[in-house]
Chain A
Amino acid sequence: EVQLVESGGGLVQPGGSLRLSCAVSGFTVSTSYMSWVRQAPGKGLEWVSCIYSVGSTHYADSVKGRFTISRHNFKNTLYLQINSLGVEDTAVYFCARIYGASARTFYFDLWGQGTLVTVSS
């Protein structure tokens, strides 16, 4: 069965850090394109970061320099290290698999249930 299970969210003070995890079963993270997408409370979806199978990484301008995406091949797990958190980073963070024949056709075919990050003093 294919599953993506996020963890690591919680309450953190402004300026703090967290590491989010996405444990995957049913397919191999290292040979897939993977992404993080977030959703602020009551708001829409916002792409955050992605990592390609070759290891290249990309970030939204809003998180560049503060967030780091990585993976552990043996654990088949995706991570998102989030630093210098601000209240604007409060959101549910979803991990998702990217699929598509080419970049211009990429979409997210599998999603985890999300983990909530709350930034507040």
Chain B
Amino acid sequence: SYVLTQPPSVSVAPGRTARITCGGNNIGSKSVHWYQQKPGQAPVLVNYYDSDRRSGTPGRFSGSNSGNTATLTIIRVEAGDEADYYCQVWDPSGDPWVFGGGTKLTVL
């Protein structure tokens, strides 16, 4: 089955840039989607198809995907961006919907 690897945590100061990575074998050939989950809330789709922002997602969020790594980049990080972020792909080799383990973004 396909495995997605995310760093457990990323810390960044307000106003700086956060980069959350999602590693997978040849992930660049897949379509990667990103979800934001704040404590006690349901996940919310923020980016899909590697780099498309969902309506309502701030323009500070962007995505990229190449080779073995997909990245969610958040520029000018704000306190409200503090959350868990999950990447997701579809892969038929096992359970088809695969999530990364999640990355806790802490705004210092």
Interface size, chain B (Cβ < 8 Å): 26
B59-108 at interface with A (beta carbon < 8 Å): 86, 88, 90, 92, 94-102
Q: Beyond the given A35-B97, A108-B35, please list 7 additional residue pairs across the A-B interface where CB-CB is below 8 A.
A: A45-B99, A50-B97, A107-B48, A108-B88, A109-B54, A111-B42, A113-B42
Count how many pairs of residues, one from A and one from B, have CB atoms less than 8 Å apart in the complex: 67
Q: Which residues of B contact A107 (CB under 8 A)?
A: 31, 33, 45, 48, 88, 90
Q: Which residue of chain B has its CB nearest to the CB of A95?
A: B42
The CA of A72 and the CA of B43, in the complex, are separated in Å by 25
Query: Are B86 and A111 in touch, CB under 8 angstroms?
Result: no
Q: Which residue of chain B has its CB nearest to the CB of A98?
A: B97
Q: Which residue of chain A has its CB nearest to the CB of B42?
A: A111
Contact with A along B8-25 (1 / 0, CB 8 A): 000000000000000000
**A-B complex: 4 closest residue pairs judged by Cβ atoms:** A47-B97, A107-B33, A111-B42, A105-B31
Residues of B within 8 A of A (CB): 30-31, 33, 35, 37, 41-45, 48-49, 54, 86, 88, 90, 92, 94-102
Q: Which residues of B contact A106 (CB under 8 A)?
A: 90, 96-97
Q: Chain A's nearest CB lies how many Å from the CB of B96? A: 7
Residues of A within 8 A of B (CB): 35, 37, 44-47, 50, 58, 60-62, 94, 100, 103-109, 111-114
Query: Are B42 and A61 in touch, CB under 8 angstroms?
Result: no
Q: Which residue of chain B has its CB nearest to the CB of A59?
A: B95
The CA of A37 and the CA of B37, in the complex, are separated in Å by 14
Q: Which residues of A contact B49 (CB under 8 A)?
A: 105
The CA of A106 and the CA of B89, in the complex, are separated in Å by 8
Query: Are A45 and B96 in touch, CB under 8 angstroms?
Result: no
Q: Which residues of A contact B100 (CB under 8 A)?
A: 44
Q: Out of B31, B45, B86, name the residue touching A45 (CB < 8 Å).
A: B86
